[in-house]
Amino acid sequence: MPPGSGWPGDPATADTPVARSASDAARLAAAAATVGEVDALSSVCRACPRLVEWREAVAVSGRRAAFAEQPYWGRPGPSFGDPSAQKLIVGLAPAANGTNRTGRMFTGDRSGDWLYAALHRTGYASQPVSLAAGDGMVLTGVRIVASVRCAPPANRPTPAELAACGHWLDRDLALTAASPQGLVSVLALGGIAWNSVLAAVRRLGWDVPKPKPAFGHGTEVLLGLPGEGPTGRGAVRLLGSYHVSPHNTSTGRLTAEMLDAALLRL
């Protein structure tokens, strides 16, 4: 879907600069003054050729039969939620027939069904089901971002793709932390998101406990903003939760009660 063509919630326009390499992404992300600008710039990013090829191929010829007649977003997924949120949820990456179809993070697949139902139960979401961009869903107090913003083949981004997309996550974290409301807490859904957040805050110069905190469901660590140390008003809480993947939810590794408890701790 070309930017500026009328897709609900599209943050970009036909004039939004396009990152065509990791260095472009680093430069453009560093210059973004608001999280809205990060959304616009990241939503047209073409820095990772393998991901661009995959997401666009799915959008044209890899659609599921149930969605065959629907237009696909086919671009990186921008963040979704409250632009003034003090709390972030960080996932892995868009699903090929989920966010890559709907244009909204964690919308249109079983993982999203679980997450938005839990966000509604815990008071963050205006409705329990998120079907498509423009369906009236509103998040209050929380914003959802991803470690990698393009749908990756087999849901497995490469280290180079994680590094390239990390520039957008770096800027999201930095801008939120520097905003008047500040950043209070981050919930990482799964080990890759956990590691991505830790890598990002290290690049930003935040204090991270040593040895490196290991991911686990219910794990909580304090990350210190530069010059503040990991205590007091300069601390950001990082919490871990198992990812809302169909494998985890269908096997009972992650239950609705466990997810609700994690969100209530944000």
pLDDT at position 156: 94
* Residues of the domain holding 143: 22-264
Instruction: Report the alpha-carbon distance of residue 205 to residue 154 in Å, rounded.
Output: 33
> Which of 266, 249, 253, 251 is CA-nearest to residue 112?
249
Instruction: Report the alpha-carbon distance of residue 69 to residue 131 in Å, rounded.
Output: 16
CATH number, domain of 167, equals 3.40.470.10
pLDDT band per the 50, 70, 90 thresholds, residue 231: very low
Task: Give pairs for 5-9: CB < 8 Å, separation 24+.
Answer: 7/73, 7/103, 7/133, 8/103, 8/132, 8/133, 8/134, 9/78, 9/80, 9/103, 9/104, 9/133, 9/134
Residue 218 lies in a domain: yes
pLDDT band per the 50, 70, 90 thresholds, residue 136: very high
Residue 63 lies in a domain: yes
pLDDT band per the 50, 70, 90 thresholds, residue 169: very high
Q: Structural domain tally of the chain?
A: 1
Helix (H, G, I), strand (E, B) or coil at 247: helix
Instruction: Report the alpha-carbon distance of residue 116 to residue 171 in Å, rounded.
Output: 25
pLDDT band per the 50, 70, 90 thresholds, residue 68: confident
pLDDT at position 228: 55
- 88 Rama sector, left if φ>0, alpha if ψ -120 to 50, beta otherwise: beta
Residue 101 lies in a domain: yes
Q: Which residue has the higher pLDDT, 148 or 66?
A: 148
Q: Which residue has the higher pLDDT, 226 or 211?
A: 211
Looking only at the bridges linking them, the beta strands covering 80-81 and 142-146 are: antiparallel
Residue 39 lies in a domain: yes
Residue 130 lies in a domain: yes
Q: How much of the chain exceeds pLDDT 70, in percent? A: 97
- Mean pLDDT over 86-113 rounds to 96
- Mean pLDDT over 102-106 rounds to 96
Who contacts 247 (Cβ-Cβ below 8 Å, separation ≥6)?
Answer: 253
Residue 153 lies in a domain: yes
Residue 119 lies in a domain: yes
Residue 14 lies in a domain: no
